[in-house]
Structure 1
Amino acid sequence: MPDDIQPPAREPVLQVERRDYTQLAPEGRARVQPMRGFDPIYTDIVDYIVRCTHRIWDERDVGLIYTHYTHNCVLYGTTGTLYTREEVVRDTIQRLVSFPERRGMATQVIWRGDEDEGFYTSHLVTGTGRHTQNGHLGPATGRTFTSRTVADCMIHENKIYREWVVADTLAIIQQLGLDGWAFADRMARAAFDKGLLSIDIGENRRLIGQMPPEAEPDLSIAHNDLERDTLRWMHEVWNGRMFGRIKDVYAPNCQYHGPLMVELYGQAAVIHQTLGLIGSIPDGAFMPQHICSTPSEEGGIKIAVRWILEGHHMGYGILQALGEPTGKRLQVMGMTHLHVKDGKVVDEWRVYDELSLMMQVRLAQMAGMA
């Protein structure tokens, strides 16, 4: 090729926010990034995770799990872990039985990686549906629901080999008019009958012995300065209890999208939601597990953080479904998506499942009685 002729520019990887589903699963689009081993239908990693999720869940082609998950995949959920592909198939079928009209709409995908190291995607989904069939939630209620889920996947050559799913299940239970504690009891009994006495045991890692919280977070999981800065202020807020830092990093008109489909506005609302979660778990230790970021067509950067909050139910806060403090050990698996624009957080999506915490309280009570 002559020096004065440039090769055609490669089309950028898809983004979700401004596109209809037909644009996210295009026909006839050329592949825009190297994806060795992926099915030819997928043109980039966002197309892959949005399209295959749609095909499996909305088109009901559950059998695609056999070509899109490894046989020994591990799926970490808020109420338990699946260790095989066949368990993922069975679990998917059971959920689809109760909600024939369910649709999961991609809200955004934040990702990193390449065909050599593999890809990591954090996929925020807004799900809607109607409970029209008897199934794992009991007799059909006919009611509708809307909830948020984040699924983080590790993918190599067309197959997901590790996945973390945080679904706001209590939001669904409440909208259907069902008894959350009845479901918590059932899940706790199933875990107890398997010999489990708790979800997690061990010393709280926020305070080692009698030492104060560590001044600096572990930044080894970050990939750039913005991710490092994010981990720093999260550590100050969650582990240092410097809740006022939120007003320094969030825009005054920020929007907060929280569990139970809460929609709030402003710095004070974010401060209260964060303070309230720690209020319910006063000794909670916040531990980020993964962070990644991608530029946004809306301007700024989108950041995804997967985290764990561990402690004990020793206070009052926003976890009102738990009732009076029980002192029981709790582990919150959470996902946070942030939109940073002009140096400030303008949107936060925070997802965790209070039903999982209710189950943990019940399991600890069963263990105590035993």
Structure 2
Amino acid sequence: MTPQEQLEGMNPETYAPYRDPREYIQSWTDKIWIARGLGHIFDHYDPKIKVHTCYGETYGMENVISNSLQKMIAFPNRGGGHDDVVWERRGDNGFISSHRVFNNATHLGPWTYGPATGKDWANRGVAHCVIQGGLVAEEWVIRDEFAVLQDLGMDPYVVAAELAKRSPVLGEQIKTGGDPPAFAGRYRDPIKTGISGDRPDHARPECETVVKLFDRVWEHKFFDLIPELCSDTIVCQTVRMGRALGISNYQLETMKLLAMIPDADVEIRDICVHDSADLGLRVATIWCLRGTYSGAPYYGPTNGAPLTILGSSHFEFRHGKIIREWRFFDEIAIMAQIINHQNQLDATAVE
């Protein structure tokens, strides 16, 4: 399904005053963050906006304005580029947008991580948004916060310990052992429906390839199937600005993620597909891993902490195979869950 075919019959007010959803996302992002038109948030967000992060939930316009204003002060030269906007129609009056961004800035003001350091940082992230009637109604945000701390010269374990006490977004305890709203429910057939609602039946072969990757490779550990699904020249861009080149390195990068949580239940929570003349066919996903920190001790000694890892992957296809993956998750959120669980174990031992 071409971009033009997706636009046919779609209410133009859904992405007005722009030409299409891609321009809608890029233009209002620039107006808010580059031109500092923070007030434009009122033009583009539903007053009851729901924002889901790796740490918790925020609801309503006041939280969006407050968090954005604080971030602008902390990183006044925050810039970066629009890596991609993968969008797909959701009914006649809406669409889903998976906006992949490259961020860079200088830490010039106070932030949740402490006073200004004057250091530069860069990271990547994804904003996965549901737009209805021209307004962002719901958003899932995933950022590589470890990369930021690494550039700022801060100890990620110290920051994660603080986050185990309070979320930088909500100011409340991180929830573990249960499913907060961002992770609630299950989507057993994400090709048909996911967190963004029912999706059109197009690009089924590519969607089935992605589902097979998560099910057979991630869930059931058939890493030898990767050459069947991916090009020999596969490149995975991942956290801490890392890159895995070629089949062997791609296998190892995927195994590394799963090794710390070997009992993980793997779920695709949303699929969004876009095929354009300039960038080809891309499949954007939101995924979730649920399990225990019982494998490789990447973040300190294993302690059986229950982990819920929210992530996103963008896949680029060529000739029916995956040639690029951009994979994002928040390691600091993982570490905070591990530390939080250890604190609970220590408290129980004292009692």
TM-score normalised per structure 1: 0.82
Q: How does 1:1-370 map to 2 (within 5 A)?
A: 34-38=10-14, 40-113=16-89, 116-190=92-166, 194=172, 198=176, 200=178, 219-221=191-193, 223-224=201-202, 225=204, 226-298=206-278, 300-316=280-296, 320=298, 322-368=299-345, 369=347
CA distance in 1 between counterparts of 2:78 and 2:175 reads: 34
Secondary structure in structure 2 of the residue aligned to 1:232: helix
Alpha-carbon contact 1:167-1:352 (below 8 Å) kept = yes
Secondary structure in structure 2 of the residue aligned to 1:200: coil
CA distance in 2 between counterparts of 1:334 and 1:69 reads: 23
- Shift of residue 55 of structure 1? 1.0
Secondary structure in structure 2 of the residue aligned to 1:37: helix
> Could you say what the CA RMSD is over the residues aligned between the two structures, in angstroms?
2.5
Q: Which has the larger radius of gyration?
A: 1
CA distance in 2 between counterparts of 1:144 and 1:195 reads: 30
Gaps of 5+ in 2: 181-187, 194-198
- Shift of residue 144 of structure 1? 1.2
State the identity %: 27
Aligned partner of 1:28 in structure 2 is none
CA distance in 2 between counterparts of 1:107 and 1:91 reads: 23
Alpha-carbon contact 1:57-1:104 (below 8 Å) kept = no
CA distance in 2 between counterparts of 1:199 and 1:103 reads: 37
- Shift of residue 270 of structure 1? 1.1
CA distance in 2 between counterparts of 1:153 and 1:199 reads: 26
Q: 1:78 to 1:229 in 2, by over 3 A?
A: same
Gaps of 5+ in 1: 1-10, 14-30, 203-215
Alpha-carbon contact 1:58-1:104 (below 8 Å) kept = no
CA deviations 1:125-164 (Å, max 9, x no partner) are 0001111223322122221111001000000122101000
Match for 2:178: what amino acid? D
Alpha-carbon contact 2:121-2:151 (below 8 Å) kept = yes
CA distance in 1 between counterparts of 2:174 and 2:105 reads: 33
Q: Which moved more, 1:231-240 or 1:182-191?
A: 182-191
- Shift of residue 300 of structure 1? 4.1
CA distance in 2 between counterparts of 1:33 and 1:93 reads: 37
Q: 1:311 to 1:287 in 2, by over 3 A?
A: same
Higher RCO (C-alpha under 8 Å, 6+ residues apart): 2
Alpha-carbon contact 2:16-2:24 (below 8 Å) kept = no
